[in-house]
């Protein structure tokens, strides 16, 4: 899709051949291209083209009485004096005898005809189009996303926040800014926002100088761009980062091909653990509400209990019938450490395998792992750990109320895990959950600030 540099290149080239031309006749071969006016051809007849302007990814033909807006979308192109083919959908016959043809293999492009008095306001007021990076001030840019959970790449692609940036340039801007594309808007600092805005201008201006980027089909009146020679990450899967020597990787983020250097644009795997009834699930549910992905080991175990091969192995190990009586199995493993180890020997490797798969599927800036038995299982594939901590009295009280256990039953389950006192020594970060839910949320928010 042509982005700001490509559209600007087209604008400059069109101005060299169209300025002062009068439209003698318009031929429309595919009606949906002309999206808002049944009298399109009639209104344009006799109109002089004074100049062609650009706003973000839109071309603006300034005529006598009208603003002609052209959005190229995926494959729109302009040609002068081109022979008619099946992909040419609009032809402008000019008073000089030349023709301007609009070609679009996918037919996604659109023209709109607007009263000339709206030439400076239409795209902003009707389309909600934001300013281009070079005219967008930092405070406006930063305040538009600093409370949002959208990823920073989605924000850069959002034309209501910043105009003109598409997928190729978003990848390049984020690489130069050393920011992971999946980082959430509310985790972007104002300094990072400034860096993003500066790099947006740096990348786009350089691309304009080089006539845009030609990767597949972009050309402007027959001229191809050269900025593809300057790309650092886009389309460079498996190639070496120029800065650190790490291999560039590609993944899909919200349906868009995304290229990064994993070292220059770091991400984190954060394991969350706690004792039974310390409030770990409350913490992870809050993180989900904030838009984070949480891989839940308990959910994985639940799915394993739906697997007939796993159930048969458990039944054979514990000399039980299928379907498994889970209450009976729980009673066995919570009262006998050797039996519990047998079950863990079956389940833990399978859980770890599934976590690895989820890591591959979820290319997040911060991926959270909910692992109650993090330290008991000796799982090591994470960068940092968070312990949701509380007092034993609160832990006991919550467990008795939540599960209707007797004090003895609750204590059995608490003591089946490593004591919280030991987990405190093993965890990277500790969040005390001794008060209200709101207090817990505030502590989580405070901890998230370390990833800003």
Q: Is 281 annotated as a binding residue?
A: yes
- 397: helix, coil or strand? helix
The answer to whether the bond into 323 is cis (omega within 30° of 0) is yes
Contact between 220 and 211 (Cβ < 8 Å): yes
pLDDT on residue 243: 96
The structural architecture, per CATH, of the domain 268-451 is 3-Layer(aba) Sandwich (3.40)
What is the Cα–Cα distance from 59 to 48, expressed in whole angstroms?
16
pLDDT on residue 227: 75
The stretches in the chain having pLDDT less than 50 are 218
Residue 216 CB burial class (10 angstroms; 0-12, 13-18, ≥19): exposed
The structural architecture, per CATH, of the domain 133-260 is Orthogonal Bundle (1.10)
Q: Is 277 annotated as a binding residue?
A: yes
Phi, psi of 182 (to 5 degrees): -90, 5
Model confidence pLDDT, tens digit, residues 378-428: 999 999 999 999 999 999 999 999 989 999 999 998 888 899 999 999 999
Task: Map out the domains of the chain as residue ranges.
Answer: 4-125, 133-260, 268-451
pLDDT on residue 36: 65
Name, in order, each residue with C-beta under 8 angstroms of 21's C-beta and a sequence gap of 6 or more. Answer: 48, 49, 94, 95, 96, 98
CATH 3.40.605.10 holds for 4-125: no
Residue 141 CB burial class (10 angstroms; 0-12, 13-18, ≥19): buried
For residue 153, what are the CA distances in angstroms to 36, 67, 145, 174, 265? 32, 32, 11, 8, 13
What is the Cα–Cα distance from 264 to 305, expressed in whole angstroms?
40
Catalytically active residues are 2-3, 57, 256
Q: Which long-range contacts (CB under 8 A, 24 or more apart) does 117-121 make?
A: 118/67, 119/60, 119/62, 119/67
pLDDT on residue 217: 54
Residue 172 CB burial class (10 angstroms; 0-12, 13-18, ≥19): buried
pLDDT on residue 220: 56
Q: Beta strand 294-296 with 366-370: parallel, antiparallel or unpaired?
A: parallel
Q: Is 16 annotated as a binding residue?
A: no
What is the Cα–Cα distance from 224 to 395, expressed in whole angstroms?
67
Model confidence pLDDT, tens digit, residues 175-211: 999 999 999 999 999 999 999 999 999 999 999 888 7
pLDDT on residue 396: 92
pLDDT on residue 226: 64
**Residue from 150, 147, 206 nearest 181 by CA:** 150
For residue 197, what are the CA distances in angstroms to 3, 193, 381, 449? 16, 6, 35, 22
pLDDT on residue 229: 78
Q: Is 308 annotated as a binding residue?
A: no
Mean of the per-residue pLDDT values of the chain? 93
Model confidence pLDDT, tens digit, residues 73-100: 988 999 999 999 999 999 999 999 999 9
Handedness of CA 256, 262, 265, 270 (dihedral sign): positive
Domains 4-125 and 268-451 share a fold: no
């Amino acid at each position: 899709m042509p982005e700001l540099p490509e559209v600007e290149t087209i604008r400059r080239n069109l101005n060299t051949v169209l300025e002062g031309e009068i439209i003698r006749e318009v031929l429309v071969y595919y009606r949906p291209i002309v999206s808002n006016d049944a009298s399109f051809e009639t209104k344009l007849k006799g109109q002089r083209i004074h100049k062609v302007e650009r706003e973000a990814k839109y071309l603006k033909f300034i005529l006598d009485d009208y603003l002609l807006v052209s959005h190229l979308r995926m494959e729109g192109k302009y040609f002068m004096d081109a022979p008619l083919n099946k992909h040419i959908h609009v032809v402008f016959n000019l008073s000089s005898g030349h023709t301007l043809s609009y070609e679009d293999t996918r037919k996604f492009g659109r023209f709109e005809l607007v009263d000339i008095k709206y030439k400076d306001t239409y795209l902003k007021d009707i389309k909600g189009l934001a300013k281009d990076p070079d005219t967008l001030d930092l405070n406006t840019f930063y305040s538009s996303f600093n409370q949002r959970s959208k990823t920073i790449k989605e924000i850069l692609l959002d034309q209501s926040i910043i105009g003109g940036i598409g997928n190729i340039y978003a990848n390049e801007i984020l690489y130069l800014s050393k920011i992971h594309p999946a980082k959430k808007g509310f985790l972007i600092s104002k300094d990072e926002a400034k860096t993003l805005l500066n790099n947006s201008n740096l990348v786009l201006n350089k691309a304009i100088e080089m006539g845009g980027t030609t990767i597949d089909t972009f050309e402007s009146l027959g001229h191809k761009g050269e900025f593809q020679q300057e790309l650092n990450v886009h389309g460079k899967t498996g190639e070496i980062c120029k800065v650190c020597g790490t291999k560039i990787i590609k993944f899909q983020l919200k349906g868009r091909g995304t290229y990064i250097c994993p070292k220059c644009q770091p991400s984190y795997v954060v394991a969350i653990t706690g004792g039974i009834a310390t409030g770990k699930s409350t913490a992870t549910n809050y993180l989900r509400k904030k838009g984070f992905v949480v891989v839940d080991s308990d959910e994985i175990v639940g799915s394993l209990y739906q697997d007939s091969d796993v159930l048969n192995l458990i039944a054979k190990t514990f000399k039980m019938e299928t379907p498994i009586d889970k209450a009976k199995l729980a009673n066995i493993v919570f009262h006998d450490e050797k039996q519990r180890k047998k079950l863990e020997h079956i389940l833990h490797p399978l859980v770890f395998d599934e976590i690895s798969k989820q890591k591959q599927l979820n290319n997040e800036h911060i991926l959270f792992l909910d692992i109650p038995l993090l330290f008991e299982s000796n799982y090591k594939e994470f960068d940092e750990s968070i312990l949701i901590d509380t007092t034993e009295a609160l832990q006991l009280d919550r467990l008795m109320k939540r599960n209707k256990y007797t004090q003895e039953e609750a204590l059995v389950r608490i003591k089946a895990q490593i004591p919280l006192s030991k987990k405190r020594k093993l965890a990277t970060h500790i969040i005390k959950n001794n008060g209200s839910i709101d207090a817990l949320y505030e502590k989580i928010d405070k901890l998230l600030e370390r990833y800003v």
